[in-house]
Amino acid sequence: MKTKISSAFITLFLALMLIVWYINGSIWSYIGGFWGTLAILLSSLWHSYKKVQNALNHEELIQLAYATTKQYYDDEETNTQKQKKHKPLFAHLKSGLLLCVAPLRLLAYIFFVVIILSLLTHQQFDILSFFIGNSLAIIQLTLFLLLKTRGTFS
């Protein structure tokens, strides 16, 4: 089953490459869009995975999440409007920066920009081919993760 799914992904990649070639698009834009988007998606997934694994290793974080969720639903059921305590601005900025800053993701974005700039300098950038490659990376990664969670692809 694993080889059938892998060959289906490769066939889809090559079929779309032929379509891009047929419409006189840039094959390099297609490949660059695919790999650039795939790098960003994989780095984002890796960052999220590490955050979840880190949270699962700390029992107090699990208890805090459980208590917060329980309190939220208890407040919702009793329809009491409690005045929420606001965090200071620095705490919001710190939590936001921790969510956004991921070195691997930043490298993936730099890689993506380098791909675009190199395509532009070599006059190989075609917007339609680039977006077809972007879309294919998103579709294939989504299908892969869907099949992996269902146990079809292991």
The model's pLDDT over 128-150, given as tens digits with 9 standing for 90+, comes to: 999 999 999 999 888 888 888 88
Q: Would residue 60 count as lying in a domain?
A: yes
Higher-pLDDT residue of 61, 12: 12
Query: What is the domain count for the chain?
Result: 1
| Higher pLDDT pick, 57 / 126 | 126
pLDDT of residue 94: 58
* pLDDT confidence of residue 8: 78
Residues 6+ apart with CB under 8 A from 125: 26, 29, 116, 119
Is 131 part of a structural domain of the chain? yes
Domain span at residue 145 reads 2-75+90-149
Cα 124 to Cα 18, 113, 119: the distances in Å are 17, 14, 5
Which residues fall within 8 angstroms of residue 65, CB to CB, at 6 or more apart?
55
pLDDT tens profile 65-98: 777 777 766 665 565 444 455 556 565 555 556 6
Asked whether residue 83 is domain-assigned, the answer is: no
In a domain, 81, yes or no: no
Cα–Cα distance for residue pair 45/67, rounded to 1 Å: 27
85 lies in a domain? no
Of 40, 21, 43, 42, nearest in space to 132 by CA: 21
Name the strand (E) or helix (H) holding 89: helix 89-100
Asked if residue 139 is part of any domain, the answer here is yes
In this prediction, residue 83 carries a pLDDT of 47
Determine, yes or no, domain membership for 82. Answer: no
Residue 154 lies in a domain: no
pLDDT digits (tens, 9 = 90+) for 16-49: 888 888 888 889 998 999 999 999 999 999 988 8
Phi (first) and psi of residue 123, to 5 degrees: 55, 45
Q: Would the pLDDT of 99 be above 90?
A: no
What is the per-residue pLDDT for 121? 95
pLDDT at 153 over 70: no
The span from the CA of 47 to the CA of 55, in Å, is: 12
